[in-house]
Structure 1
């Protein structure tokens, strides 16, 4: 985790908590010539534009005080969306029973991308129910092999 992301997490976490929100993720990335600081917030029933605006205002004030970024950047505060990333164990626990997309660092049974229903989560293991041709199979994925994971929109 970059130093900027660490500092922003320290500043944004209490703001989100105070407003009854969850700090889901923080990205600090360069796209073209511009830098972007993206802060993703959420709550059980979803967040609205006013909540995003309020977090943006309060966080912007704190960032101006601490000044952890020495150059110009764009601050964006938003919901993680329907395909919310799963990063923390708590995220996976809440996703049990839902459709997920998981990418692994190395192949498992010859595959690195898995999509299906997360039917169980233990701190060291995910169990997905995936469709293979016309039948459903259970795939066990060791947690340490997960490179990326997110909720998946079902069609």
Structure 2
């Protein structure tokens, strides 16, 4: 995580928490005109809607304007992680244990960088995933990208969590 992204998180995280949200992921995207993407979720784990995104945007825009942590012009984009969400924090791998996930590593492990399988969780600092029934330990600090795979099980769990 860049120092710019860390600073942005320090600025906005307390306000988001006070409003009942948590940061899932912060990213700067684009070259000429950058976009600050803030992916957030509700602390009560209900589905986020457009009103939630607007509420977050209205609350954090003034904070970013005052502190001005981004030198170049940028656009602000607030979104929900969705059902097939990215897995970013260590607790994400625990929370979604039992579901299918795709994990990309920064280097080859057993001749490959990408793994798809059922998450076991975090074991001794490693993301453990069952790939074709075999447990694979992937060092958490070397995960480049990870996300849930949209499956019937995941959809059923999301529906149950929402009381649908």
- Report the TM-score, using the length of structure 1 for normalisation: 0.85
Going by fraction, where is strand more abundant, 1 or 2? 1
Deviation at 1:98, TM superposition (A): 1.1
- Which moves more between the two structures, 103-112 or 89-98? 103-112
Segments of structure 1 that go 5 or more residues without pairing to the other structure are none
After TM superposition, the runs of 4+ consecutive aligned structure 1 residues lying more than 3 A away are: none
Question: Number of residues paired by the alignment?
Answer: 150
What's 1:21 paired with?
21
Deviation at 1:143, TM superposition (A): 2.6
What's 2:52 paired with?
51
Cα distance in structure 2, aligned partners of 1:76 and 1:97:
31
CA contact 1:4–1:28 (8 Å) conserved in 2? no
Going by fraction, where is helix more abundant, 1 or 2? 2
Segments of structure 2 that go 5 or more residues without pairing to the other structure are 153-164
Secondary structure (helix, strand or coil) at the match of 1:150 reads strand
What's 1:143 paired with?
140
| Alignment root-mean-square deviation, CA | 1.8
- Report the TM-score, using the length of structure 2 for normalisation: 0.81
What's 2:71 paired with?
70
Deviation at 1:122, TM superposition (A): 1.8
